[in-house]
Amino acid sequence: MITRKLQERIKKQLANLDLPRGVILYGPRQVGKTTLVQAIVRDLGLKTLVLNGDLLGSEIKTLCTRDIQKIKLLLSGYEMLVIDEAQRIEDIGIIAKIVMDFIPNLKVILTGSAALDLASRVSEPLTGRAYSYHLWPLSQQEYKEYETYAERLRNLEQRIVYGNYPKVNSLEGQDEKREYLTNLIDKYLYKDILEFGGMRNSSKIRDLLRLLAYQIGNQVSIAELAARLEISRDTVNNYIHLLEASFVIFRLHGFSRNLRKEMRKMDKIYFWDTGVRNALLNQYAWLAERLDSGALWENFMIVERLKRNEYEGWGANHYFWRLNSGAELDLIEERGSMLTGIEIKQGNKYPKLPDTFKEAYPDAKYRVVNIDNWNEWVVEE
């Protein structure tokens, strides 16, 4: 089993008496949240009660009574409380606050696969009581502990095509990987989005996801999507918001600080897992055989950099940059006062920095990420 990057960070937090006793762990279903929590519980050696918000058993009902005497009886003798899919429990934030306020030293971990749903329930009640973390599909940094660079390079293409969900990584055959991704989309992705959004008809969400899958690496026009789907722009925006909150996609906004000609109105949209993206289109061809290989490489590298930013705690902001004239950079990374323009190339080319960017941001750094140096950018640096 691959050790996750967050494991030590969360363990250190929970072991430090000066830090909050609560953890909120966000991430899509099947990404390994439960496995990570089990590893943390095992390593800390704490007697733990594990509950699941999907099941709503008698223990959950006891917590929902908010009767502190009944809650104390339920949790007596335990050192930690873990609730998976906590967003399913109404008023979970208030319940967790009551538990932490009235039961000294009890540690609490909540996990959720719908970010906004859980965040809206816990943000205010657990302010100052819990730290939040995001867990994504396996990262190249996490593979590093188990594979040499040569092994990771050899496995890179299949991970771009089939993605990095832990279960996909453990399956050997292409048919098994494809079957798993199809089930993941049908059983969890669509189901959770529809339930979270209170929608009954999944056809528009499916069509929207396919349209977005075709447009990775390009600026996305909400008006064009709305016209093609025959729904309102507000509805498209709401659907995209739901897809972001369900950890399927993310947006990059255009970077603009100095030039009026910098484009900001349309975002770029990428997928958190390229395997999910390819499964939506039922396209599993190897990179040499497909027209979108450059866009897939770009999506994959940006995601790996964002994962690293999250796990390292850099706090960097990310954008893309483009002028009306067509000059562009795939990624802008802003870490504190340092600005870096990044061009991502699938081959081994080293394009020059656009003069307009250099003139507008003379203190910015520039780097090219390609097959020669991708490992340094997402793993070693």
CATH assignment at residue 72? 3.40.50.300
Whether 263 and 206 have beta carbons less than 8 Å apart is answered as: no
Statement: residue 380 has pLDDT above 90 = no
Considering 81, 113, 134, which residue would you say is the last residue of a domain? 134
Q: In this structure, is the dihedral angle defined by the CA atoms of residues 337, 343, 348 and 349, taken in order, positive or negative?
A: negative
Whether 261 and 325 have beta carbons less than 8 Å apart is answered as: yes
CA dist 341 and 333 (Å) reads 7
Over residues 276-315, the pLDDT tens digits come to 999 999 999 999 999 999 999 999 999 999 999 999 989 9
Statement: residue 200 has pLDDT above 80 = no
Residue 178's pLDDT is what?
97
Tracing tokens 């323009």 back to the chain, one arrives at 341
Whether 189 and 213 have beta carbons less than 8 Å apart is answered as: no
What is the domain count for the chain? Answer: 2
Residue 330 forms part of a structural domain: yes
* Integer angstrom CA distances of residue 19 from 9, 11, 16, 107, 118: 12, 11, 6, 11, 22
Residue 292 forms part of a structural domain: yes
pLDDT class of 262 with cuts at 50, 70, 90: low
Domain assignment of residue 168, given as a range: 140-380
Calculate what percentage of the chain has a pLDDT beyond 90.
76
Residue 186's pLDDT is what?
86
SS3 of 285, please?
coil
Residue 257's pLDDT is what?
82
What is the domain-level CATH number for residue 299?
Answer: 1.10.10.10
Kindly write down the DSSP assignment for every residue of 66-105, as one continuous string. Answer: T-HHHHHHHHTT-SEEEEETGGGSTTHHHHHHHHHHHSTT
Considering 134, 162, 180, which residue would you say is the last residue of a domain? 134
Considering 92, 113, 134, which residue would you say is the last residue of a domain? 134
Residues 180 and 75 in one domain: no
Structural element, H or E, at residue 25: strand 22-26
Calculate what percentage of the chain has a pLDDT beyond 70.
95
Residues 22 and 158 in one domain: no
Give residue 217's Cα distance to chain centre: 18
Residue 375's pLDDT is what?
95
Residue 1 forms part of a structural domain: no
Give me the helix-helix angle, 203-214 and 222-229, nearest 10°.
Answer: 140
Residues 83 and 198 in one domain: no
DSSP secondary-structure letter at 110? E
Residue 124's pLDDT is what?
85
